[in-house]
Amino acid sequence: MNFLNRINNFIFGNKIEAKLLNTDELERDEQLVHYNVDFEEQILINSQISSLLSTDVPQVIQTHLPSSSNLLNEVRQVVGSEGHGDYFNASVPRYLHYWAAAMTLPSKSKILDVGSAPGHVGIGLYLLGMNVVGVNLNEAWRSTYPSLEWVEKLGVIEHNFEQAILPYDNNVFDAVYFTEVLEHIAVKNPIEILSDLRRVLKANGLLILSTPNICNISNIYALLNEVNIFWQPEIFYGSLDRHNREYTPREVYEVVEKAGFRDIQMYGINSYCNWRSGVGDYPYKIIDALGDNHPLLKNTTVILARK
């Protein structure tokens, strides 16, 4: 049994039957995997992660996903084909959950959208009747919005939250969106940043957070095939639009908890843009065979929490 097969056995349990084409010369993009798994005896490589990261979407989110799908078409019309279309399409699963969470809030709620560019999430919130305030690192991000009119509608400001606390009083916002931002933090302790987000929330205010799940199967497969899960040096050292650190679900939970949030709900979803590049369609072959009812098969960690 080759090394990759042994790792697959370790991850998914003792009773896996795997047949790989080109076993002697494993071609990652040409392999065909057939699995037969007894889920009752499935081995979980990290019981702490498995107990924290639910694969079940909270009922309150499920209830609003159909309406969120309807909103998607309206947002797509605003964004248009030129408005970061590829990124928009790759991010749709995440967007649906973000907007569904907003649908649990009263109309005209005041929402802080940290890392607002290119505005897709904020546009959906605005169309839901929310009062949105967007925050970006610098003015360069303004050019990523569909128009300057939308920059104004979303109340976009520039602020570096790693250098100073947010320029808002305590207890101002009904909700804070911190989606796909945690992984970009470079210097400041993320617990301090989350604590400041909590500060500007009203009592019982809602935090919506998402970030890539570093434990997902595409990262494991990439490392086994000598594909680095860090970004290429020319991006990592030459761009601010990079991931400085990705987190396990347990780490995300602990950061949110230590920042003082309560009633923390954490679950996993899949968004195409959070699979590791360079691994072909391996994650989809695994999911087709096994389903996605396992923390390793969710590439995005989502948090809902209250102040």
More reliable by pLDDT, 264 or 282: 264
3-state secondary structure of 179: strand
Say if CB 159 and CB 167 are below 8 A apart. yes
* pLDDT of 184 strictly over 80: yes
Q: Return d(Cα 88, Cα 212) in angstroms, integer.
A: 16
Rounded Cα distance, 178 and 169, in Å: 18
77 three-state secondary structure: helix
Nearest to 264, CA basis, from 207, 210, 304, 204 = 304
Q: Is the pLDDT of residue 245 over 50?
A: yes
pLDDT of residue 83: 57
- Which pairing describes strands 173-179 and 300-306: parallel, antiparallel, or unpaired? unpaired
Average pLDDT for 185-202: 95
Position 15 scores a pLDDT of 34
C-alpha span between 295 and 269 (Å, rounded): 9
Average pLDDT, whole number, for the chain? 80
Residue 159 and residue 193: Cα distance in Å, rounded? 13
Q: Is pLDDT above 90 for 292? A: no
Q: Region 28-49: what's the mean pLDDT? A: 38
Structure tokens at 119: 């505005």
3-state secondary structure of 263: strand
Angle between helices 59-79 and 120-127 (to 10 degrees): 110
CA distance 212 to 32: 26
Q: What is the pLDDT of residues 113-129, one digit of tens each?
A: 999 999 999 999 999 99
pLDDT at position 240, please? 59
pLDDT of residue 215: 82
Give me the residue spans of the domains in the chain: 1-43, 47-279+295-306
Q: Which residues of 176-189 are buried (b: 16+ CB within 10 A; e: fewer)?
A: bbbbbbbbbbeeee
Which pLDDT does position 189 carry in this prediction? 93
Is the predicted pLDDT of residue 226 greater than 60, yes or no? Answer: yes
pLDDT score, position 160: 93
Architecture in CATH of 47-279+295-306: 3-Layer(aba) Sandwich (3.40)
The model carries a pTM of 0.78
- Average confidence (pLDDT) over 234-259: 80
Number of helices (H), then strands (E), in the chain: 11, 7
* Tokens standing for residue 172: 């101002």
Residues 6+ apart with CB under 8 A from 242: 184, 231, 235, 236
Taking only the tens place, the pLDDT of each residue in 53-94 is: 556 899 999 999 999 999 999 999 999 866 566 788 888 999
